[in-house]
Amino acid sequence: MTIEVPKLAYSVKEAVHASSLKKSTIYNYIAAGKLETRRVGGRTIIPAASLMKLLQGEAA
């Protein structure tokens, strides 16, 4: 039996795939402050909650 754990954060590439947005669009939202990012171990990650807020139209 496999337990599927929901993602807590996405890489930019994963966020592109999950949202169907273009990579440039993701970066534009990041630059505009509408999509949160974190740097962890040299990687840029996007918290899942921030991506969900953006897609639901709740981003700042």
- In-domain check, residue 25: yes
3-state secondary structure the chain: CCCCCCCCEEEHHHHHHHHCCCHHHHHHHHHCCCCCCEEECCEEEEEHHHHHHHHCCCCC
Domain of residue 44: give its range.
9-55
Confidence (pTM): 0.85
- In-domain check, residue 15: yes
Over the stretch 12-59, which tens digit does the pLDDT of each residue have? 999 999 999 999 999 999 999 999 999 999 999 999 999 999 999 876
- In-domain check, residue 41: yes
Overall number of domains in the chain: 1
- In-domain check, residue 2: no
